[in-house]
Structure 1
Amino acid sequence: MLDENGPEPATPHADPRGNPLLRTQFVIPARPATFLRRERLDEHLDEALLTPLTVVDGAAGAGKTLLVADWAAARDRRVAWLTARLAGKGCGTFWAYLLQALRLADVTLSGDIGTPAEPGHVDDALLTRLAGELSARDAPVVVAIDDYDQATDPEIADQLDFVLQQAGRGMRLILVTRTEPLLPLHRYRAADAITEIKNAELAFTPREAADLLTLHGLRLPDDDIGALVNRTQGWAAGLRLCALAARGEGDPRTYLKGFEADRTTIADYLLAEVLKRQPPQTQDLLLRLSILERFSPELADALTGRTDAGLILTGLHRENAFVEYLGHGWFRFHPLFAEILRAHLRVCRPRLEPELHRRAAHWLRRSGSLDETLGHAAAADDWESAADALVDDLAIGEIFTGLRTDALSELFSRMGPEPTTPATDLVRAARHLAQCDVERGLGRLKRAERALTRQSGSSEDDGPGLAAARLSCALLEVTAARLTGSPGRAEAAARTAERLSSEVPGRRLEEHPELMALLVTHLGSARLWAGRFQDARAALTTVADSGRTAPTAHLREECLGHLALIDYLNGWAARAERKASAVAAAAGRCGPPAAPGPGLASLVLAAVAVDRNELDRAEAHLDAAADARHPLPDPLARAVHALVTGRVLLARGDTRAALEAADRAAGADVTSPWAAAHTTAVAAAAHLADGRPEMAVKLLAEEPEGEPVCLVGAVRAELAVGRTGAAIELLERVRPQGHAGPAITVRTALARAQVAGEVGDVATQRRLVARALEEARRERLRSPFLEAGPWLRALLRTVPLRGLAEGWLVPGPPSPGHPEPVQERPPLPVVQELSGRERDVLRRLAEMMSTEEIAADLYVSVNTVKTHIKSAYRKLAVNRRQDAVRRARELGLL
């Protein structure tokens, strides 16, 4: 046999017991063909030539031995190599082996040094003479001791430190070990006389892992490599064993994504090299802790019933036994080691795991995080404890909003019909209400409330826990009240919640801001449904201005959506659009929209688009509202959806469908005054358009006085049946509030103008129309003029009214270079606004580009271009390219 560094050595000397020194302990280990040399580690290891001591300290399979072996084999001078697995049986045996390693590395030692005579003892004179001869060398000898953690005799560390110190520049010592050696490392560190390569540095980077897999004939995408490195945490042995196993598979990529560590050679390696090397008590500790993502000594003691976990865990971490220290007294296992330990626990002690989860849940409920408590309680099938923890922590609001909504929903979806405690009923009620299942949610809520009422009569049950449960009831009551359209119930529950909030620990309320934010949001929505706009605004603004903390971020957007609706109902379309657009933008940044804020905001944007006669855009916003999670969760959202849909259909000329849409706005415990008024206005307009003015008059007469939208509609209806006097009487009752915006004041002015025309007061009529045009132009409100009727078109052709309407309501003057033909033409109809992409297509049509060229230029399909062309033709009331370009120029669109 030949050593990589020269011929086979001569017959070695014997150890102090008279046994031959085994030659395998002096051979530098061979590197496999798939060994990957990592330059960053080699460069760091080169510093071993500059410092007396180098420690390569890593877990089993971290690649430390092969790293040092490859580095040693590449040196110009031979490295004295010793594997201490057998040499660590006493200091005499150790030094006998080390002296032989020096001789085999061509280090000349005089006979004066001698040899140890006893396995457990070595003369100080031998060590002194050895140090003296090494210190006299011209070039230092490099000594690498592998498996140094096997040399457990503390005397060996003291003696090695003595020789190293006294040898000076004549010796460079490299220790390869699983645990930090007992040498006084603090002195070496203070003197900058040590090179250290630790477990974290030995871990493979994703790039190195990719190179290693390539050596095994595997090429994987970067994402797959990153996932593998994350799972193994760059552990060298784990990566190699995975690569070897995957190499024999037909689909290595799929195998590596789903391989079960407990069924591979990785499990055999870790069980043999780590678990089985520990004492029985430590093995029991490791198996019990495997159910935990992280653990402290106190938690470990709770699972074992012992009191020594702190010492054991600290020792395991120091020994690199795949126990990582997280700081602040917490530890965790290497992910693969934890996975294998859990599998081993299920095989060895299958009935123990549920009990361990139960103990962990009870300990964590007092001292840990809620997430961990819930996870272990669920794993133990202890749903009563899980529900109690959620309710006591005031975290039931997280089922509705926040970062853990989906996780909590999934967790408690596994809870069966039992048990039926107040807490479990509250959690079930919350889940049903979050899914807008009001009937089942209210059933569970009432059951929980009855049980809590019985408990409140017992003094020993009173306290923060009962107050937290009753406060959770109040939140669910407000939620149910909003979903059913019951403002009175919402107010009563809110008053109860305000009283109970002083009975729970303030710290918990601070930790769960979503609870009170949810309550105020639902209260504001209920007030809005009741038509109490000022009170609703006060509540909603509280949440909207509360900041963008993660638990309440979606609630803030929801409140902004409601505030946008209030602005719209008050006639301020531009204000409503700004708020609703902010909600839509935030929903796009945060991912899938939460219910029901973005859905309502999209409905407001659709309503504003209808007021501007941008019907395609309105329909797009309606579709966006339908895409939101639970887009129509309550009567308010359903009413707005029905109203906007009805107005779009009415503008399209489909009066029958508009009537059907208006009918869908019903369905609440309490009727909303504004929703009823707007619904009636849509239905009346449909009847009026179909030539049934008497039906319109009848419908509007049934609505309460004071709603401008109904009064304006009634004026038009009365004029349609020829009752001008009745119309004048109605106008006297139209008293828009001081906060009324242009969408209300413009319609009111047009109604007054129509009446003025009927009585022959042309001057007043023109003045009122001019004022309406000026107010509407700022917010591009076109629908009020389209809804007003044919009497308005003739007026819009007159001066100066045409000037006020040109460019946004009626076509503008001809473009320069394209004078209007001399022949008289009928006035251009009011057109819908073209979308940005339709304008892009029109510009390219004007440049005589083909459909295919336009598609290529805009990076869209030919069919998409054809759709935009067809829509633009319809809006411009043309059928040919030439006519479309001419009309677009006339309107100032090109």
Structure 2
Amino acid sequence: MPRGAPVPGGPDPLGDPYLRTRFALPSRPGTFLRRDRLVEHLEQALLTPLTVVNGSAGAGKTLLVADWAANLGRPVAWLALDAAVEGPGMFWAHLLQSLNAAGVPAPTAVGFPADATRVPHTLLSRLAWALAGRDRPVTVVIDEFERMTDPEVGRQLEFVLRHARPGLRLVLVSRTEPLLPLHRYRLAGEMTEIRDAELAFTTEEAVDLLELHGLSLSVPVARALVERTRGWAAGLRLSALAARSTPDPERYLKEFEAGRSTIADFLLAEVLERQTPETQDLLLRISVLDRFCPELADELTRRRDAATILAALHRANAFVEDFGQGWYRLHPLFREILRAHLRQRAPGLEQELHRRAAHWLRRFGTLPEMLAHGAAAQDWTYMARALVEDLAIGQLFTGLGSVEPADWFAGMEGEAPDPSLNLVRAACELSRPALDGGLAHLRRAAEQLAADDRGSPAALLSCALLEALAGRLAGSAHQAERATRAARRLMPQLPSRLLDGHPELTALLLTHVGSARLWAGHRDEARAALTAVTRGPRTASTVLPRMEALEHLALVEHLDGRPSAAERKVFAMTAEAERYGLAQPSGSGLGQLVLAAVALDRDEADRAEALLARTSDQPPPDPVTAAVRRAVTAGVLLARGRTREALAVAARPVPAAEASPWAQGRAALAASEAHLAEGRPDAAVEVLRQVVGELPECTVGAARAHLAAGDPGTALRLLDGLAAHGSAGPGVLVPAALVRAQAAALEGDTATARRMVAQALAEGRREELRRAFRAAGPWIAPFLAEPPLRASAAGWLVPESESYGGTERDGRGTGPGAPVEQLSGREREVLERLARAMSTEDIAADLFVSVNTVKTHLKSAYRKLSVHRRNDAVRRARELRLL
């Protein structure tokens, strides 16, 4: 029988024949893709009285259910509704006819409706009774159920479904929520549901679908297409059909204009043109928005009907998604098409809509959204004044997520006659950071604010905040302090409500001045300012300043010689990031560098190098971070024995307006250690001469250098001066005790040496400060081999199973765990060739050096390894994992 021909069985209640197309399973095209995960989910329809497949137009609902029904292996009554099937009588007449067409007719006693507008209740009761008595349940699929808008039909259908158990399995395919009490079935666990999110194609499914259309695409291209269409079945199929006729399908799918495609034709016909003029106007206008609520939509339409229209569109699955709290968004592809249609239908309106949205969002929305729409409207002055007068300029640094502040104002060109514009431009430059450009705009803004009394307290406070940041970036504590004092004078002039609404402003100000103070070496003042940030309001807008404050406090702890306290501060910063859903601790990378410095203190060079690598993809934003990166880089190179490179790194200047005592001291200390590793103690003494007395760690380094140069008296006098630094932690006290111990050992005072080593072990054990012991030299081995001290070293300085046993005739320990002075890079190269049984002459030829040079390196390596023979040197180096 031809498709669409009348079905035998008499006319419907209006006297028209039943058309076959309403009862026939739709045919599946050759490009149809069966998706097993959805078929498996549909199998549950055989176990629950009700199944709802609910999705937008073109989501693939009908073909999914039709394919499942065709392979079910049992009769399925199929009914496709259309505009002609209207009213209870017509609906039930067609449903009964669908049973007839499927070969499961209802008993004659049930009867047929004679009136298109009503149906006798007895017919419903008899039908339910007949179905309930069946041996096997009958499956009824009603497609396009959204066309049935009569609530009476919903009540009648629910009555039959409830009383036909267990003889009826009802499957409703619909764009809208069916007019049945679905909540009851959900609560009872008697409903199977498949909705838009599940109907969406995955990337893997999209690849298979495109292959059925003759397109073999890479996974990234398919993934991008899925993201753009949200896995919408019709969008994928229409895209594939269009791409297939182009010479470069992959490029087409990357670049096609949604507004000029078969997808646009489909959505405009199936969704937009079905709507009333008012709804069409609303959809076109809200297409400029990423998200919207009824009030914002009303602002764009200048009407008051958005709430009703949006709720109806969402119920109708008309590509309007509700994501809670009264906010909606459009399907991205539908939005793209609507925007293209808006430009055609109303040229010039788009910019005005963005302007309206920006003004509304300033009052009721979020700052990023306001800026986005202000930028789209090119309303630069309004945006800048809003940021400044609302005291929101700090959020350019704290509240915009992954968006760079400069991105919002990228389209702004020419001179900025308004001070707010220059302040915003300065903020954009400083956020990069681009100090010179930021200072130029900042000076211009300050001049404009000073002229004609145009400087409101909010503008002047914004200017002071940026001045403090500029001082931090320039390494000028004086500039940062001056700006902070100015800001404090201005704050009482502003409404407390405004200040309380922007706690990030104070947090940023204190972070900037704290960092500048730290650069200048004022650790106590820096700690006070930074601690105030961490104890301030804990809000989303202050999370980034709090994280920066914590990593700077971690640096203070590290400089004071307290590695565990430094670690805890960095871990607190990471916890802060996790609490607010930040994927990675953001910021300058200073926290990672502090952890790397701690790893070096613990003789964990591999970990230090890995942490350093995490920060190498971006230039340091300020002198503090640059100085720490320089010190850590030099330390890693020293740990690898690359002394020449370490010296070069330590000599690199860190540009800053004012000198930093600790930054200079750390660089000198790294250079001194490099000279000592190369056997040049006089050079080590000289490089630290300028910074001795400034920093405890440099004093200890100088004492060690003097001792290596044969001047124990000066070494001890320097250490005696450490008493003035009462705040020094284990990172300073441990190496100081070891220098005293070595001096005592050289004088033959073994009791004092033993006592100082014990003191160093007690302090170092808590912090696991292995590096100081490794660098101490071979003299320490016999002390660590003694049972009391060996017990203190076991488990952290060496594994529990190892001990410091055995001594050579000269009294130097050779136990497997004895710490050694760091080998230079050339000494390692010589040892590696020694391990390959190469002769001294062969090593010299391989390294292009003289035999005497090789012998000099061997002598130094033997001393550091506390051995006298080749075989012992190779064995010892392997035990220490140097080979």
Query: TM-score w.r.t. structure 1 length?
Result: 0.71
Q: Please name the residue that 2:727 is paired with.
A: 739
The answer for the alignment partner of 2:475 in structure 1 is 485
Judging changes above 3 Å, is the alpha-carbon distance between structure 1 residues 133 and 679 closer, same or farther for their aligned structure 2 residues? closer
CA distance in 2, matches of 1:135, 1:388: 73
Match for residue 594 of structure 2 among 601, 610, 618? 601
C-alpha distance in structure 2 between counterparts of 1:652 and 1:113, whole Å:
98
Separation in structure 1 between the aligned mates of residue 171 and residue 317 of structure 2, nearest angstrom: 18
2-side partners of 1:800 and 1:63: how far apart? Answer: 80
Task: Give per-residue Cα distances to partners, 1:708-749, cap 9 Å, x unaligned.
Answer: 789899999999999999999999988633234577678989
1:629 aligns with 2:618: yes
Q: Name which of 14, 22, 35 aligns with 2:32.
A: 35
Separation in 1, partners of 2:308, 2:755? 85
Q: Is the 8 A contact 1:59 1:320 kept in 2?
A: yes
Task: Tell me the equivalent position of 1:353.
Answer: 350
The residue that corresponds to 1:387 in the other structure is 384
What's the CA shift string for 1:172-199, capped at 9, x where partnerless? 7655433345567678889998766544
Q: Choose the corresponding residue for 1:887, options 851, 860, 873.
A: 873
Cα distance, 1:876–1:250 mapped onto 2, change above 3 Å: farther
Q: By how many angstroms is 1:287 displaced? A: 1.0
In structure 2, what is the Cα distance between the partners aligned to 1:753 and 1:352? 82
Measured after TM superposition, the shift of residue 302 of structure 1 is: 0.6
Between the aligned partners of 2:781 and 2:873, the Cα distance in structure 1 is: 21
- 1:530 corresponds in structure 2 to 520
- 8 A contact 2:822–2:864 mirrored in 1: no
The amino acid across from 1:480 in the alignment is: A
For residue 306 of structure 1, what is the aligned residue in structure 2?
303
Residue 848 and residue 252 in structure 1: after superposition, are their counterparts in 2 closer, same or farther (change >3 A)? farther
Distance 1:844 1:563, change over 3 A: farther
1:286-301 matches, cutoff 5 A: 286-301=283-298
1:567-646 → structure 2 map (5 Å cutoff): 567=557, 570=560, 572=561, 578=567, 594-595=587-588, 597-598=590-591, 601=594, 604=597, 624=613, 627=616, 629-631=618-620, 633-634=622-623, 637-638=626-627, 641=630
Matched with 2:529 is 539
Tell me: CA distance 1:735–1:29, structure 2 relative to 1, closer, same or farther (3 Å): closer
Aligned to 1:332, what secondary structure does the other structure show?
A: strand
Q: How many residues matched?
A: 833
Q: Is the 8 A contact 1:568 1:608 kept in 2?
A: no
Q: Distance in 2 between matches of 1:683 and 1:816?
A: 31
CA distance in 2, matches of 1:112, 1:332: 48
User: Match for residue 521 of structure 1?
Assistant: 511
Q: Distance in 1 between matches of 2:283 and 2:260?
A: 19
**Match of residue 864 from structure 1:** none
Q: C-alpha separation between the residues in 2 aligned to 1:195 and 1:599?
A: 50
Q: Supply the AA of the counterpart residue of 2:588.
A: A
Structure 2 residue aligned with 1:664:
653
SS in 2 for 1:87: coil
Aligned residue number for residue 465 of structure 2: 475
Select which of 135, 144, 160 maps to 1:147.
Answer: 144
> Separation in 2 of the partners of 1:831 and 1:520?
44
Query: How far off its partner does 1:304 sit?
Result: 0.7
Contact 2:774 2:819 in 1 (8 A): no
Q: Is the CA contact (8 Å cut-off) linking 1:491 and 1:523 kept in structure 2? A: yes
- Equivalent residue in structure 2 for 1:442, among 408, 419, 439: 439
Q: How does 1:389-788 map to 2 (within 5 A)?
A: 389-391=386-388, 394-400=391-397, 404=401, 406-417=403-414, 419-452=416-449, 466-467=457-458, 469-498=459-488, 500=490, 514-543=504-533, 555=545, 558-559=548-549, 562-563=552-553, 565-567=555-557, 570=560, 572=561, 578=567, 594-595=587-588, 597-598=590-591, 601=594, 604=597, 624=613, 627=616, 629-631=618-620, 633-634=622-623, 637-638=626-627, 641=630, 664=653, 667-668=656-657, 670-672=658-660, 736-740=724-728, 778=764, 779=769
Shift of 1:330: 1.5
**Aligned partner (choices 367, 371, 389) of residue 368 of structure 2:** 371
Contact 2:390 2:498 in 1 (8 A): yes
Q: Shift in Å at residue 76 of structure 1?
A: 6.5
Contact 1:426/1:445 (8 A) holds in 2: yes
Partner Cα distance (2:319, 2:589) in 1: 47
Map of 1:60-79 to 2, 5 A cutoff?
60-73=57-70, 79=76
Q: In 2 relative to 1, CA 251–824 (structure 1 residues): closer, same or farther, beyond 3 Å?
A: same
**Alpha-carbon distance in 2 for matches of 1:770, 1:553:** 49
Structure 2 vs 1, CA of residues 582 and 201 (structure 1 numbering), >3 Å: closer, same or farther?
closer
Contact residue 292 and residue 329 of structure 2 kept, 8 A: yes
- After superposition, give the CA deviation of every residue in 1:747-776 in whole Å (9 maximum; x if it has no partner): 98999999x99xxx9969989877776666
Asked whether 1:59 is paired with 2:44, we answer no
* 8 A contact 1:374–1:389 mirrored in 2: no
- Alpha-carbon offset, residue 355 of structure 1: 1.2
- Cα deviation, 1:113-132, whole Å, max 9, x if unaligned, reads 68858xxx55766x856875
Q: Is the 8 A contact 1:639 1:665 kept in 2?
A: no
Whether the 8 Å CA contact 1:563–1:576 is kept in 2: the answer is no
Q: CA deviation at 1:347?
A: 2.9
How far apart in 2 are the matches of 1:562 and 1:308? 53
Inter-partner Cα distance in structure 2 for 1:559 and 1:216: 57
Deviation at 1:344, TM superposition (A): 2.0
Unmatched 5+ residue regions in structure 2?
Answer: 839-853
Conservation of the 8 A alpha-carbon contact between 2:33 and 2:209: yes
Task: Please report how far the alpha carbon of residue 888 of structure 1 lies from its aligned counterpart in structure 2 after TM superposition.
Answer: 5.1
Q: Distance in 2 between matches of 1:556 and 1:404?
A: 15
Give per-residue Cα distances to partners, 1:117-175, cap 9 Å, x unaligned: 8xxx55766x8568757855764876554334445567766777788889998877655
Identity across aligned pairs (percent)? 47
Cα distance in 2, alignment partners of residues 77 and 644 from structure 1: 74
* Matched position secondary structure for 2:296: helix
Aligned to 2:323, the other structure's residue is in SS state strand
Mapped pair 1:262 → 2:262: no
Deviation at 1:232, TM superposition (A): 3.1
Task: Provide the residue aligned with 1:859 in structure 2.
Answer: none
Cα drift, residue 700 of structure 1: 6.2
Counterparts in 2 of 1:28-427, with a 5 A limit?
Answer: 28-37=25-34, 56-73=53-70, 79=76, 81-88=78-85, 104=101, 107=105, 116=114, 122=117, 132=126, 135=129, 139=134, 144-151=141-148, 175-182=172-179, 198-204=195-201, 209=206, 212-213=209-210, 215-216=212-213, 228-245=225-242, 256=253, 258-391=255-388, 394-400=391-397, 404=401, 406-417=403-414, 419-427=416-424
When residues 888 and 59 of structure 1 are mapped into structure 2, their CA distance, relative to the original with a 3 A threshold, is same
The answer to whether the 8 Å contact 1:378/1:411 transfers is yes
Q: 1:322 and 1:11 mapped to 2: Cα distance?
A: 40
Structure 1 residues 750 and 835, CA gap change in structure 2 (3 angstroms): closer
Deviation at 1:308, TM superposition (A): 0.9
